Amino acid sequence: MKNNLAYNSLFLAAALVLSYIESLIPIVYPVPGMKLGLPNMAIVMLLYMGYTRSAFIVDILRIVISGFMFGSLFGILFSISGAVFSFAIMYFIKKIDVFSIIGTSVCGGIIHNMAQLIVAMFVVKISGIVYYLPLLVLGGMITGFINGFIASRVIPVIKKL
């Protein structure tokens, strides 16, 4: 990577644009706070292009900036918890080379939702929200698949540039 700052800024901008687009999509989800996770495409791409440190930095900055722009402090708390655990599992899976980029993204989506559910259980102090788990796992699988699929198609184009 010739210019790390410029490259990170480009991916951060892409993730923020995807966050904005995601905030405009009027989808009613069965679980409060559930989202498509479009900005995670940028993170998965950086991770699979070999820029692990950049992926983590962009992930955290994206959450903080988009949280202040489109969300709330609670949204940042939930997103940070999901992002840290999701990133850790995706890094580990990529490192041991168990799944493709799509499988890694699916695992990241599932773990992201599970981590957010655990934080929600502590914040609202109602264990009954654990009943959202099946929907969150399914949502993480679907969005992780979509994000991983798109990322797998975009990476070769970026590498050519």
Domain ranges across the chain: 4-160
Tell me what pLDDT residue 45 has. 95
- Count other C-beta atoms under 10 Å from residue 55's C-beta: 24
- DSSP class of residue 129 equals G
For domain 4-160, give the CATH number.
1.10.1760.20
Tell me what pLDDT residue 42 has. 93
Token pair listed for 87:
């990133």
What residue has token string 């102090």?
A: 125
9 Cβ contact partners less than 8 Å away, ≥ 6 residues apart: none
- Count other C-beta atoms under 10 Å from residue 141's C-beta: 16
Return the ∠ at Cα 31 (arms to 17 and 121), rounded to 5°. 105
The ranges of the chain with pLDDT < 70 are: 1-3, 28-29, 32-33
Residue 34 near residue 139 (C-beta atoms within 8 A): yes
Rounded distance between C-alpha atoms, residue 129 and residue 105, angstroms: 24
- DSSP class of residue 71 equals S
